[in-house]
Chain A
Amino acid sequence: MTLKSRPGSLGKRLTPYLYLSPTMVLMIILMLVPIVIVIGYSFYDNVIMNKHPVFIGIKNYAEILTDKNFHQTIYNTAFFTISSVVFHMIIGLTFSMLLNSKLLHQTTRSIFRVIYVLPWVFTAAIIAILWRLMLNPNGIVNYFLNIFGTIDSKVEWLGSRDTALYAVTFINIWSGYPFYMVSLLAGLQGISIDLYEAAEVDGANSVQKFLYITIPQLKPIIVSMAMLDCIWTMQQFSLIWMTTGGGPIRATEMLSTYTYKLAFSKYEFSQASSSAVIILIFSMLLAFIYVRKQKARD
């Protein structure tokens, strides 16, 4: 008796699909159908609000792609995403290497590991409120900056057009690095000590060991984390929505908040759908690269 289904018996051939059926039903109704609907919406005028929407082809896309605010949105999202990914990586790598240091006692390492992972256990709503408290003009961040003489005035970090984008990016960096840290830590622990010992015999210093052993060994993890992070950060909605709402005056408007406002503040569901499809295309492109990279590794 083998576990492979024998061709010929229809029942046997259907068994694997039977096990998959709950997932497939859910994914068809709540993933496939909605994607088809949203793509359909994007070619019509005034859907949902109008009972008989008119087919207008790619007019919605043309309007969105020529909208100055949309260009601003693209710039903001790109800045937010790229800075977040780069700093997540730097901080995650630094912290994981500190935590992996052989100079420390096991207990010390576990205590710091719990502290370092803390930002991860908070939901966006909590992170947003906490940082609105800390970055308030009268808040603790300005207090410390005053004491150390860096600034004199009360900066409105999240309320000023000059600083808001940097502030939300800073918050997102704080909340997202533990994901990298945890994975890189496991990756570091998986690197064979023999490699380092061999390098020491050859007279390598710590910088060389880092550049020629640690980084190449971690590269597959770093690349796949960066791809996933790009996809998720680009789609970030809740953190932006609850800290600045995309403001002041679109200074922190991201693709997701732009789309949400089109749909649920302006009730332009058709244009919102086009914008939503554009985000979907970006995400799928990144996902495609990600899946290909994964396959190449297998």
Chain B
Amino acid sequence: MSKTTGRNIGKIIVIIMLLIGAVYAGFPVVWMFLCSFKPNTEIFAYPPTFISDTFSLNAYRSILTNSEKIRFFLNSYFVSSVVTILTLFVSVLSAYSFSRFEFKLKKTLNMLIISVQAVPPITLLIPYFGLIVALKLYNTYWALIFTYMVFTLPYAIIMMTGYFNTLPKELDEAVMIDGGSRLLALWKVLIPISIPGMISVGMYTFMQAWNEYLFALTLTKTIEMRTVPIGIQQLMGQHSYEWNEMMAMSILGCLPVLLLFLFFQRYFIEGMTAGSVKS
């Protein structure tokens, strides 16, 4: 067998395996997409229809004209954006401290930040319930924003510290010799260079907040405070299973994350990897 035939056979095997893998990974998503354009009566048709003759955008229309459901999206956008901005801001300050100072509790605090990531949300949920009521935050956006930050901050700090550590200290020293303050050095020098790292951290934070379910379920009560994951779940109870609407809402619900992912794929994958490999 010549080397080229060997390569060709190898290539065919790889492509066949890739296609099998693609069906496993992608078919459910394609099916969700197709079902969102069907009338509800056709969802469980036998044999299944793949491209429906009665293609319609009705499911999307009924969601986008329903102010209650629009509100779910607005809530999710608002909460996730605020969480992302605040997380970036606070984590940059902490990361600066870990990266640029030597101090007594540095090692201990760093270890704590890493281990905090392992604390189960369900453990915090029971005390949160009382605590959030006591802080008068029950059923407000702030209840979600603060509790989400407890889970987004550690990863962001670890990532940004790693990022700052790769930047030479001479950069900020130059600004400070010119009479600038530390904050100026951080703002004018470090942050602009760190934009790629911040994009990756910001995306991950946004995704975490957008997807959060347990706290949103328990710490909010009224329908106008609910976020998209809860909204999708409530569709199940409300009607007698409007599957097409649930699929349409799911498509709309994953769009922001999907778009973020497609645009910033490179940063995201690099960032994720750096974090998980050598945090």
Interface residues of A (CB under 8 A from B): 1, 3-5, 13, 15-17, 19-20, 22-24, 26-27, 29-31, 33-35, 37-38, 41, 48, 94-95, 98, 101, 103-104, 112, 114-126, 128-131, 133-134, 136, 138-140, 143, 174, 179, 182-183, 185-187, 220-221, 224-225, 228, 231, 234-235, 237-238, 241-242, 255-256, 259-260, 263-264, 269, 272-273, 276-277, 279-280, 283-284, 286-288, 290-291, 294
Tell me, in angstroms, the Cα distance from A291 to B113 when the chains sit together.
Answer: 11
Is B191's CB within 8 Å of the partner chain A? no
Kindly state whether residue B51 has any CB partner on chain A within 8 Å: no
* B118–A284 CB distance below 8 A: yes
Contacts of A280 in B (CB 8 A): 119-120, 123
**In the complex, A174 Cα to B32 Cα: how many Å?**
15
**Shortest distance between the CB of B124 and any CB in chain A (Å):** 5
Complex interface bits, B114-154 against A, C-beta within 8 A gives 1, otherwise 0: 11111111111111111100000000000000110110010
* Majority secondary structure, B binding face: helix
Question: Does B63 sit at the interface, judged by CB under 8 A?
Answer: no
CA distance A142 to B213 in the complex (A): 29
Check B115 against A125 for contact (C-beta < 8 Å): no
Option from B91, B116, B123, B243 in Cβ contact (under 8 Å) with A27: B116
Using CB atoms and an 8 Å cutoff, list the residues of chain B in contact with chain A.
7, 10-11, 14-15, 17-18, 21-22, 24-26, 28-29, 31-32, 35, 43-44, 46-48, 90-91, 93-94, 96-98, 100-103, 105-106, 109, 111-131, 146-147, 149-150, 153, 157, 169, 172-173, 176-177, 182, 207, 210-211, 213-214, 218, 228-230, 232-233, 236, 243, 246-247, 250, 253-254, 257-258, 261-262, 265, 269-270, 272-273, 276-277, 279
Chain B residues in 8 Å Cβ range of A23: 90-91, 93-94, 113, 153, 157
A112 touches B18 (CB 8 A): yes
Q: Are A3 and B253 in contact (CB under 8 A)?
A: no
6 contacts between A and B (CB under 8 A): A3-B172, A31-B116, A94-B17, A121-B257, A129-B247, A224-B277
By a CB distance below 8 angstroms, the chain A residues around B14 are 98, 101, 103-104
Q: A121-B254, A126-B254, A130-B250 in contact; A15/B121 too (CB < 8 A)?
A: no
Bound Cα distance from A255 to B121, whole angstroms: 12
Given contacts A26-B90, A94-B21, A116-B22, 10 further A-B contacts (CB under 8 A): A19-B94, A35-B119, A114-B265, A140-B48, A143-B48, A179-B272, A269-B126, A280-B123, A283-B120, A291-B114
Residues of A within 8 A of B111 (CB): 291
Chain A residues with CB under 8 Å of B17's CB are 94, 98
